[in-house]
A and B are shown apart, each in its own frame.
Chain A
Amino acid sequence: MEIPYNEELRPDTGLYNAKLGIWLFLASEVMLFGGLFSAYIMLRLSDPNWASYGQDALNVPLATLNTTVLITSSITMVMSWVSLKLNDVKKYKLYMGLTLLCSFGFLIIKYIEYSSKFSHGLFPSTNNFLAVYFVLTGLHMLHVIGGIVVNGYFFGPGLKMWNTEPERFTNRIEVAGLYWHFVDLVWIFLFPALYLL
């Protein structure tokens, strides 16, 4: 038994299964972050003490650096897919490796940020701004870790599918890329919402 439309497109919808699947997953992720942002707005609007919670104490230069790192990982991710389209596995490995490197870099910078907060005695329980900050960035970080697991698999053991079903493997990278760009997209909104506004 073979499930149809795993690699080829279904003529009337123009899609392969995994692509539709990942977009549905991303739609639900939109709702997840919708809930998180909604909570942020509601807490901020209803709390008269919000201004005293030290939002401007966040490290903007470090976060800007992190934004750049994540945007870079997005372009390398899309380039790794392009390389597969051009049948160039070597370049694919290069770009995928860079993507992984950037994602680890993001985590390290995040670690520096978190630990400096903790060392100043700033915890999620301190006030609601920090609670929002830690939960939103923490959940985003979990998504980054999830992306590292997936991309790491395709960088290492998952690559052997390229030899047997190159078309399907390219699709997998496209799907992994969609997820990764979404993680980037979330950060694009988190960054100004938490650090700047």
Chain B
Amino acid sequence: MTDTHHKESFWRKYIFSIDHKVIGIQYGIMSLLFLLLGFGLMLVMRWQLAYPDQPLPLLGWRLSPDMYNSFGAMHGTIMIFLGVVPVITGAFGNYLVPLQVGACDMAFPKLNMASFWCYFVGGIVMLSGFLLPGGAASSGWTSYPPLSVVATTGQTVWLIGMVFLITSSLLGSSNIIVTIVQLRAPGLTWMRLPFFIWAQFVTAFLLLLAFPPLEAAAIFQLMDRLAGTSFFMPSGLIVGGAATDWAGGGSPLLWQHLFWFLAHPEVYVLILPALGTVGEIIANNTRRPLWGYKSLVYSVIFLGFMSFIVWAHHMFLTGMGQTMSMFFSVTTMIISVPSVVILSCLFISLWGGSIRFNTPMLFALSFLPMFGLGGLTGLPLGLPLSDIALHDTYYVISHFHYVVAPGTIFAIFAGIYYWFPKVTGKKLNEVLGKTHFLFSFIFMNGIFFPMLIQGLAGVSRRLADGGQSYAHAQHVIHYNEFMSMSAWLLGLAQLPFILNIILTLIKKKDKVADPNPWNSTTLEWACPSPPIGHGNFEKEPVVYRGPYEYSVPGHKTDFSPQSEKLGEK
């Protein structure tokens, strides 16, 4: 193993590194910055919603309706494609998958590097839209044509950026699958894999198979915009009172089909690794095995499969016919079953455990009801009849934000607090962490719960004035100010988190730091923290047992690491 310690140039080591750990950290830093940026856009939009047409404090300018649209589109795009997915598959996946399967690196280190740099370029290209005349893409993160085809140049760079991001996720996901299949440590059979690995495995398949149709659609839309084809342009289209040059004959619904064919599995890309993360943390902090490991695994696989055939429940309003509507509402009801199985397993795992309420566990625990709320508010949206009333209201915004914001993002926070000692060898401060948790939890709900009320009252989403001009919105419009206050306070609540990371990073490392501070059983804790150079493990680990052998009767500690020989006590 001497060759792992030879000196590498600065560029090879930190910038164009092929070490999965460095790439994971690169992904982590970039995507957290993108999350902050996407959140910042929303903070500006919330000002416009609370105090329509008043100049922004400090900045002094007004957010015009066009810019509001553009901020909204970019908020969605950044949060999903540049923020949450790269954190959860790029950062967590890259850093932890090889460690948890006991591998020295990803299967294709160079492709891994290419994956990060495609993501980087894609993100920069998309953001460059803000500098173009007409601003960044403004047709929503869904980019529905014909609106998006006649939109300003920002949409073109959005599409080009998207092609880069798709390439990036393609390289990343095939890498994760090959790593899990091929590089598992000896003894690590399929049913001994941690739940997190299963979640990453299924997620990688979703990315691999769902993204390409969107790539096809993005190419079509680029052609529509640049070469004047009419894939998505219907005949006789009139824009701004004048007939357009497109030959016509195309179908705007075709885009919606291809887009949602990706974008529904994408929802599960957001949520499955989050469930995996939460599962790891719950097992570790209840000091007992996950309840129903096998049903968790089969549910995740089934969920992944079903997520490919529910996409048109986003399209009930398009009048696609009763056959399609019925089919997709049935599959939508079916897919809620495995989700409930997973959530129930995680809840039951808490039963009778001696729970350690540290920061990662608090985030993981709050994930459960928040994701539950997000899931349950989704049921009325899966039935065409109620969806027609709710679809264009704030109810939908609230629903998917409950899944992703206090859901997935809380899981991401939990993961960061949990695995920070693995990456740096130093634990984050608990007091700051709990402060961060408490205020994030309160203000998150302060933003999204009133939206449910507004949505049920029929307030339309996507309006730059928050619905002020509508009579039926008047009795719920005052919530806008409350929600905006919550959003800004949520921004403040992130300061302890940022401070915590900075303070911990500059703190000197404990000389006798425990490589396994949480007394965890899975393989990533069987190597030093942080793992050594390029190669991770001091010697190749061998696995002797399942992933969650906590509190095994007769064992001298309350955890039995996977790599511990069977006879040892």
Contacts and interface: CB of A to CB of B under 8 A. Distances in A.
Contacts of B227: 123-125, 131
B217 interface: yes
B261 interface: yes
Contact of A32 (B3, B182, B216, B229): B216
A18 B246 CA distance: 44
A118 interface: no
A42 to B, nearest CB: 5
Task: Give chain A's interface residue range (CB within 8 Å of chain B).
Answer: 35 or more
Contacts of B209: 27-28, 31
Given A25-B170, A35-B261, A128 B231 contact: yes
Interface in A6-45: 10, 13, 15-18, 20-21, 24-25, 27-29, 31-36, 38-39, 42-43
B107 A135 contact: no
B181 A128 contact: no
Contact of A20 (B103, B178, B254): B178
A46 B47 CA distance: 44
Interface of B: prevailing SS:
helix
B208 A124 contact: no
A124 B213 contact: no
B3 A135 contact: no
A196 interface: no
B216 A35 contact: yes
A197 interface: no
Interface residues of B, number: 47
A139 interface: yes
Contacts of B105: 1, 3
Interface string B220-243: 100100011111000000000000
A127 interface: yes
B3 A38 contact: no
B183 A4 contact: yes
27 contacts: A1-B1, A1-B4, A3-B183, A10-B182, A13-B181, A17-B108, A17-B182, A18-B108, A20-B177, A24-B178, A31-B213, A34-B213, A35-B215, A38-B257, A42-B251, A43-B249, A43-B254, A47-B249, A123-B227, A124-B229, A125-B230, A125-B246, A127-B249, A128-B229, A131-B223, A131-B230, A135-B220
Interface of B: 1, 3-4, 103-105, 107-109, 111, 170, 174-175, 177-178, 181-183, 208-217, 219-220, 223, 227-231, 246-247, 249-251, 254, 257-258, 261, 534-535
Given A35-B258, A128-B231, 20 more contacts: A1-B1, A1-B3, A3-B105, A3-B107, A21-B111, A28-B209, A28-B212, A32-B215, A36-B216, A39-B216, A125-B228, A125-B229, A125-B230, A125-B246, A125-B247, A128-B229, A128-B230, A131-B227, A131-B230, A135-B229
